[in-house]
Structure 1
Amino acid sequence: MLKWKSIKLDTFVQGEEEIKDVLAGMSGKNRVIKFLLADSETGCQVRVYRDADQIVDIDSVMLSIATTPAFRFTLPMDLSLSEGQLCKVGYYGLSAGATTPDIAIGYEEAD
């Protein structure tokens, strides 16, 4: 079954990352992130990390051009989390932001 989790980030600052923990791997659970849903904000990169490995680093406006509504995009993923691994998501500010964007993940969980 697909589950969803969302977080609200602080206003992004030019030249800085705003990253938050979103999901951790657990003992006895196989968690796989299937989708990333993010606000399209001009002047920022969407970033996803699994522990110290950067998995996603893309301009948030690039994917919004081909989606509806134009202010959100959905990025298909297949990112597994083993026990003790942590997924973090957020934005890197290429310019100063004026909003507090949201990011959501869709994930599956099996015993």
Structure 2
Amino acid sequence: MFLRYAAVLALVATASGCVYEHPYRERRVVVERPAYAEVIAPQPPPVQYVEVEPRPRPGYVWARGYWNWEGGRYVAVHGHWEAERAGYRYVHPYWEQRGNSWHWHQGEWAR
């Protein structure tokens, strides 16, 4: 009986060294546009958000500041630099009225 268990144990130990693990190549996920959640506000945004636009910066586009709907009210969001993308133009974020509500369109790169 002991010999049988010893033989099974020896077989398992030998077979475990024969396992070949395939190399794993990680796949890169390329996302063109971040996840988008529709934002609808019940009232129009305040007058256009005004801020001093900085001097041009080579290789970047200034994304203007805007009003964001947050917690039942509008909150000012400061502008920021976006790295240029060859063959694209930057469309600034904006609010659009549809019926009695206002719909948010985030800034994006368009061809």
TM more than 0.5: no
**Pair member with larger Rg:** 2
Q: TM-score, normalised by structure 1?
A: 0.31
In the superposition, the TM-score normalised over structure 2's length comes to 0.31
Higher helix share: 2
